[in-house]
Every structure is written in structure tokens, then in C-alpha cells.
Amino acid sequence: MRRIQLKIKALSPLAIGRHKPGGSISEVETYIPGTVIRGAIAGLMIRQANSEGIDFANDPDSDFKTLFIDGGAIFQNAYPAIAEVSDDFQVRSEVKILPATALSAKGKSGFRPKGNGVFDSLLDRFCAEQFGQVYDPNCPVDGGRVDPVKGFYSSKQQQYAMHSTSTRLLTRVGINRSRATAEDQILYSTQVLEEFKRQNVPMVFSSNILVVEALAQEFFQYLNHNANSLRLGGAVSRGLGKVELDLELRETATDLGDRLTQFNTALKERWQLWKLFDGTKADPSQERLFFTIGLQSDAILTEEWRRITVISETMLRAAVGSSSENIRLEASYSSYDYRSGWNTAWGLMKDTELMTDRGSVYLFSVDKREAEHWITPLTELENSGMGDRIAEGFGQVRVCDEFHSIFRERAV
């Protein structure tokens, strides 16, 4: 598959609803889900086809079927791409999710220099458990309490920055169609994403679309041609959801081999520090290869017809097509939420799904003699994702995130 790098500039407020089951208020998302991008592009193609007298439903060999029915395109989530560095704003293409093991000061949270720094605790927690110790870190600056920190971030030349969006409420009144005047007792508010990060700084979101090789160039040209025709989210008939696309076609290259080496080297170094508690305890990285799977988007995980929140050894074997019995789940850090939505094509509510939250992290190990056999399957897993509805942006993963090598004494 090839990758279409997508930058979405908001030209008007975006009403990206996030419905909580059991509630009467539709909250706005802090990003643009892949399912919204997928639905908007599919809807645009269908409207254009209908105006030209083309019926996709009766054409089993259509490109539309390949892209949207057969899973020929994977639409990843679009995360806020504006990084605030000092008083300057930068648009960064690669936006990632902080892992669940990331910690920062409770009193002054965030990356330096504005905050007291952020660091990762995964490897130290693993080593502490192996030595029968409790890992309870404090802030490296003021010695105060630390708490988990969540959100979007990016790094460029060792300069880290958090990414966020702003929201506001738009209050509207209903219109009486017969009198063309305001209708009594119909006043409502819609929560929307701001179209500006700050004055004169438009809000930009970054995403990727993975497309099968045969249709990548053609689909890229189609999106380029319709870069100003797309509308995202709800209330588009009321002027919301106008965006502009900036696209670039790239290969799906990965540096997974380097990340695996870096991660295991970091584990070896931390193990040597923790050996002061027991100098005779053998280093597990001598015989086993360790790697993490971190969720870069919410995931719908299923095992034996049940919704679960932990990636088990059996699930991983099935996802990468391996029959290895040496794989072992060493640690997991995950949480969950519920998600629903509205299917415009069917005119029905979507099923309520149990979601494993983005940022969840799972630490695995395999026999080191099988190391070479895992690089290609894990690379493919990064490109495709795991779980259900991956074509809509669910189940995006990153193997051996570099952030796991940022320790307390080197908080960024």
C-alpha cells in the first residue's frame, strides 16, 4: 500500500460530534476521526456519480467498491498538527499520542521549558517488578507528585510540543418554514472545533490514507482535484465543516528495525541500573527480544466474540499470522470508554462499542532467535492496524515508540 499524507486546514468551525451513550448532549471531538473523513469522501463520490448517472451499487468491479467495501483504503484519524513552540507556531506532519505510561508533574505539567518535563515509566516499571520493587517516581525538577499525562504531541530536532484544539458553542435558533421567521421555543447550541488556533493562525489537522498500490495514484489525483469540495462533520448546510486539503503521495517506509534495536538497548541499560538490588539476576534481554505495541487511536478489540481491552498473545499471533508459542505478554497499561455515532448512509444509530483508549501500551517479548521473523509482520501491523473497523481509523498502532526511551533523569 502507498500513503497519502493529508493536511486538513479548517476554513470554518467543525461540528465533529462525539455521542456518549445514555446522554442527551453531543460533545465535540478533539480531532477528526478517520470514519468522518471516510464518510465525507465516500459521500462526495456518490453525489458526483449520481449527477453523472453512474450507479456504484450495480458495478461490482468499481474502484469505489475496492476502496470502501473491500478495504482498499484505510483512513486514519486526523490529529491537530499545530505545535506551539515559544511564541511561534509550526505545522508538523507526524503527530503521535503520548503513551499511557507517560508521566509529568502534577503542579506544572507539560514539556519543557513551559512545564517541568514529561518522561516515560514503562521500562523502569518493568525492571522494578522483576526485582520485586515498587516504582514510585517524583518530579525531576521540584520533587513533587507526578501524574499520567495524555494528549497529542510531536518532536522535531529534540524539541517536544503538545498539540491541542479549541472549542466554542454556537447558539442557533430554529426557523419556521411557513413564516420564514424565528420559531418559538427552538433555541439550541452546537459545540464546534475552532477554525483558528490563534488570530490569523488557521487550525490544521494531519492524517494519512493508506491505499492499495493499483489505485493510489488515481485516488490521489481525485482528492487533489476535489481539495476544496469536501465538507467534514455535521451542520454542513449551515456553513460548518468547510476545509481545504493539502496532499502528498509517499511510500509506507518504516524504521522499525532501528526502533527495535533502540528499545532493547534502552532496556539493557535500565536493567544494569536496577541490578543494585540483586546483582545475580539475569538480564532477560539476553535471551528474549522485547517490543511494545502502542495504540495511536481507539481500538475495537475482539477475542472469542467478546470485547476486551488487552491484546493477548493469541490475538497478536492472529494479527501477524504467526504460529510462535514463545510470545509472552509482559505488561499492559490500558483503559476503556464507550463510543456510539450516527450512520448517515443508513439513517440509523451505530452500535455502542467498547473502545480501548488510544495511548494504551502492551509490552511483549519473544525468543531472540526468532527476532528476524518478527520485523516484517510487525511492520505490516503498523501499516494496517489491528482490531475491528481499521478502515475507519480504529486500531492504529506504533511498535516501540521512541518515547519509551525518555527516562526521568532526561525528562523533556
Backbone dihedral region for residue 201 (phi beyond 0: left; psi -120 to 50: alpha; all else: beta): beta
Q: What is the pLDDT of residues 81-131, one digit of tens each?
A: 998 776 678 888 899 999 999 999 998 899 998 899 999 999 999 999 999
Residue 192, in any domain of the structure: no
Query: Is pLDDT at 251 greater than 80 in this prediction?
Result: yes
Residue 225, in any domain of the structure: yes
Using pLDDT thresholds of 50, 70 and 90, give the confidence band for residue 22: low
Residue 177, in any domain of the structure: no
Query: What is residue 198's predicted lDDT score, i.e. its pLDDT?
Result: 79
**Residue (of 387, 384, 340, 380) closest to 360 by Cα position:** 387
Strand partners, 201: 198
Query: What is residue 409's predicted lDDT score, i.e. its pLDDT?
Result: 92
Cβ(259)–Cβ(236) below 8 Å: no
Q: What is the pLDDT of residues 164-211, one digit of tens each?
A: 998 988 887 878 888 888 877 777 778 899 998 877 889 999 999 999
Greatest Cα-to-Cα distance within the chain, rounded to the nearest angstrom: 86
- Do 222 and 336 lie in one domain? The reply is no
Query: Is pLDDT at 154 greater than 70 in this prediction?
Result: yes
**Residue (of 319, 257, 229) closest to 40 by Cα position:** 229
**Residue (of 330, 382, 371, 338) closest to 356 by Cα position:** 338
Residue 324, in any domain of the structure: yes
**Range 319-325 contact pairs with CB under 8 angstroms and sequence separation of 24 or more:** 319/381, 319/386, 320/374, 320/377, 320/378, 320/380, 320/381, 321/377, 322/373, 322/374, 322/377, 324/366, 324/367, 324/370, 324/373
C-alpha 141/C-alpha 118 separation (Å) is: 11
- Do 240 and 331 lie in one domain? The reply is no
User: If DSSP codes are grouped into helix, strand and coil, which group holds residue 378?
Assistant: helix
- Do 323 and 229 lie in one domain? The reply is no
Using pLDDT thresholds of 50, 70 and 90, give the confidence band for residue 297: very high
- Do 246 and 263 lie in one domain? The reply is no
Using pLDDT thresholds of 50, 70 and 90, give the confidence band for residue 24: low
Residue 71, in any domain of the structure: yes
- Do 242 and 391 lie in one domain? The reply is no
Query: What is residue 187's predicted lDDT score, i.e. its pLDDT?
Result: 79
The CATH number assigned to the domain holding 41 equals: 3.30.70
Indicate the residue type of 339: R
- Do 35 and 59 lie in one domain? The reply is yes
Q: Average pLDDT, whole number, for the chain?
A: 89
Query: Is pLDDT at 157 greater than 90 in this prediction?
Result: no
Using pLDDT thresholds of 50, 70 and 90, give the confidence band for residue 234: confident
Give the residue with greater pLDDT, 56 vs 43.
43
283-301: average pLDDT: 94
Query: Which residue among 236, 251, 266 closes a domain?
Result: 251
Using pLDDT thresholds of 50, 70 and 90, give the confidence band for residue 20: low
C-alpha 8/C-alpha 80 separation (Å) is: 9
C-alpha 354/C-alpha 338 separation (Å) is: 5
Query: Is pLDDT at 51 greater than 70 in this prediction?
Result: yes
C-alpha 346/C-alpha 389 separation (Å) is: 17
**Residue (of 329, 306, 307, 304) closest to 316 by Cα position:** 329
Strand partners, 159: 156
- Do 316 and 379 lie in one domain? The reply is yes
Query: What is residue 186's predicted lDDT score, i.e. its pLDDT?
Result: 78
% of residues, the chain, pLDDT over 70: 96
Residue 161, in any domain of the structure: no
Residue 322's domain spans which residues?
A: 256-410
- Do 240 and 272 lie in one domain? The reply is no
C-alpha 359/C-alpha 103 separation (Å) is: 12
In this structure, of 68-72, 76-80, 359-363, the range with the lowest mean pLDDT score is 68-72
Q: What is the pLDDT of residues 308-351, one digit of tens each?
A: 999 999 999 999 888 878 899 999 999 998 887 766 666 677 78
The residue assigned the cell 418559538 is 184
Residue 274, in any domain of the structure: yes
**Residue (of 249, 287, 285) closest to 270 by Cα position:** 285
As for how many domains the chain has, the answer is 2
- Do 271 and 358 lie in one domain? The reply is yes
Please give the grid coordinates belonging to residue 176: 419556521
Using pLDDT thresholds of 50, 70 and 90, give the confidence band for residue 57: low
Residue 163, in any domain of the structure: no
% of residues, the chain, pLDDT over 90: 58
Query: Which residue among 251, 276, 293 closes a domain?
Result: 251
The CATH number assigned to the domain holding 350 equals: 2.60.40.4350
Query: Measured between alpha carbons, how far is residue 109 from residues 84, 162, 412 in Å?
Result: 15, 11, 11
- Do 304 and 357 lie in one domain? The reply is yes
**Residue (of 31, 33, 13, 163) closest to 90 by Cα position:** 163
Are β-strands 342-343 and 361-367 bridged in parallel, bridged antiparallel, or unpaired?
Answer: unpaired
Using pLDDT thresholds of 50, 70 and 90, give the confidence band for residue 19: low
- Do 247 and 263 lie in one domain? The reply is no
Query: Which residue among 251, 286, 311 closes a domain?
Result: 251
- Do 13 and 52 lie in one domain? The reply is yes
